[in-house]
Amino acid sequence: MPIKSRENLIGAWAFFLGIVLSVLVGIFSGNKSNEAVLGILAILGLVVGFFVAERDVQTFLFASVALVLVSFTGLQGIVLAAAIKGIAIGQIISSILGALLVLFVPATIVVALKTVFSIAKR
């Protein structure tokens, strides 16, 4: 979806960089993720959360909670299957899903807290 206005440009770029970095971390790191890179992903997640527009909060929360739940469930299933079968591709996928969790959990928490505070002000 193209960006129609410049109001969410920072959040959109943080989201894009986070997704690209998550995939790269998953492909190249294997089971040994660099803590600095994961810290950068968490900070990008916070930036994404802070720049979600108020009109997009409900859609973002729905999509991000679904993504976090599916990523966590997939991560658990892939780790178990990889441990049983010794599949190398499972390690790559589980690293990507783990990196996506590091990106999306802070963003989801920030948006949820912003929503709760917005409701409390009314």
In the predicted model, what is the mean pLDDT of the chain?
83
| pLDDT tens per residue across span 44-53 | 999 999 999 8
What pLDDT is recorded for position 73?
A: 83
| pLDDT tens per residue across span 65-90 | 898 888 888 777 766 666 666 666 77
Q: pTM above the 0.85 mark?
A: no
Beta strands in the chain (DSSP E): none
Torsion of CA 104, 105, 110, 114, to 10 degrees: 90
Smallest CA-to-CA distance from 107 within 74, 73, 67, 70 is with 67
